[in-house]
């Protein structure tokens, strides 16, 4: 039990030291522009189909689930607003973050873990190239930059598929669906939840890189790093969401 508590605090201590070196790597030039572009592509555009599909499915599910309830209460006209509000305020951002946690978190954890156990990270350091700058900073920045953009895509697909599902049950034009759903929506409803995903991106990038770069114990260790990266990224994203939603409600009532 004592060992468990000690290792828990050790983990946070090591994470703190990792973040300090990472912050230095992210803020002090030179910057690895070319590698950053590669990571933006790998993390962003390659996650797009998955995120779009998940966003679309969320829209369909929301439409199917809420239609019956709203009909019961005689509030069927509210369906577009319920779908759009749910998607842009919570479902879109959190679904995007969880999908990226799974795809990118596992990918970074396994890739950096494998580089660590095969001494590639040591080789980089010996070549006088800072692995925090080349490997970690580029991935973290790419996660921060791409999460809000992927969220926009997920929101769009969610709204379109929500409309499609709705119109299949009872024909309604897309224009009417949007006008009805967006009535009363302000930028305060849209921007803060979308931009909060940059924090999710920071969490995913930092935790996945940290787990990958501290890998020990050969291929078994790589597997452990990939799994723990996904689990911890998802967990911290959900916990951070609680805090961020509260903060958004305080600052953007």
Partner 1 sequence: MRNNENSPIVIEDLRKSFGEQKVLNGIDLAVKGGETLAVLGRSGTGKSVLLKLIVGLEKPDSGSIRVLGQDIAKMDRDRLNEIRKKIGFLFQSAALYDSLTVEENVAFPLARHTKMSEAERTTRARELLSAVGMENGLKKLPSEISGGMQKRVGLARALALDPEILLFDEPMAGLDPITAAEIGKLIVEQQKQRNITSVVVTHEIHSARIFADRFVLMNEGKILADGAFDDLRKSRNTFVAEFLREAA
Least distance in angstroms from the C-beta of 206 to partner 1: 20
Give Cα separations from 183 to 89, 177, 186, 201 (angstroms): 15, 10, 9, 30
Phi, psi of 181 (to 5 degrees): -75, -35
Q: How far apart are CA 252 and CA 247, in angstroms?
A: 8
Taking the complex as a whole, the smallest distance from the CB of residue 108 to partner 1 amounts, in Å, to: 13
- C-beta neighbour count of 97 within 10 angstroms: 30
The Cβ-side half-sphere exposure at 94, using a 13 Å CA radius, reads: 16
- Give me the least distance between CB of 125 and partner 1, in Å please: 6
| C-beta closer to partner 1: residue 115 or 207 | 115
> Which is closer to partner 1, CB of 28 or CB of 169?
28
Between 82 and 115, name the residue whose CB sits nearer to partner 1: 115
* Angstrom distance (rounded) from CA 135 to CA 124: 10
If the CB atoms of residues 89 and 116 are measured against partner 1, the closer one turns out to be 116
Q: Which residues bind partner 1 (CB under 8 A)?
A: 114-115, 118-120, 122-130
Shortest gap between Cβ of 134 and partner 1 (angstroms)? 9
């Amino acid at each position: 039990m004592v060992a468990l508590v000690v290792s828990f605090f050790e983990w946070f201590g090591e994470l703190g030291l990792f973040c300090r070196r990472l912050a230095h790597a992210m803020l002090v030039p030179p910057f690895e522009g070319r590698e950053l572009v590669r990571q933006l592509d790998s993390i962003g555009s390659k996650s797009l189909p998955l995120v779009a599909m998940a966003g679309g499915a969320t829209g369909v599910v929301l439409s199917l689930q809420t239609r019956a309830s709203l009909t019961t209460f005689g509030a069927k006209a509210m369906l577009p607003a319920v779908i759009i509000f749910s998607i842009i305020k919570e479902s879109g951002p959190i679904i995007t973050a969880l999908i990226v946690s799974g795809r990118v978190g596992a990918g970074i954890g396994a890739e950096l873990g494998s580089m660590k156990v095969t001494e590639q990270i040591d080789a980089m350091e010996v070549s006088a190239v800072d692995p925090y700058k080349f490997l970690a900073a580029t991935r973290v920045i790419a996660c921060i930059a791409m999460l809000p953009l992927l969220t926009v895509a997920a929101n769009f697909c969610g709204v379109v598929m929500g409309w499609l599902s709705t119109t299949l049950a009872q024909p309604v034009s897309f224009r009417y669906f949007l006008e009805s759903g967006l009535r009363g929506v302000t930028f305060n409803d849209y921007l803060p939840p979308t931009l909060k995903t940059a924090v999710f991106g920071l969490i995913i990038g930092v935790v996945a890189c940290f787990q990958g770069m501290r890998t020990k114990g050969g291929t078994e260790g790589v597997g452990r790093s990939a799994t723990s990266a996904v689990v911890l990224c998802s967990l911290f994203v959900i916990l951070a969401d609680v805090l961020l939603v509260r903060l958004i409600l305080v600052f953007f009532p």
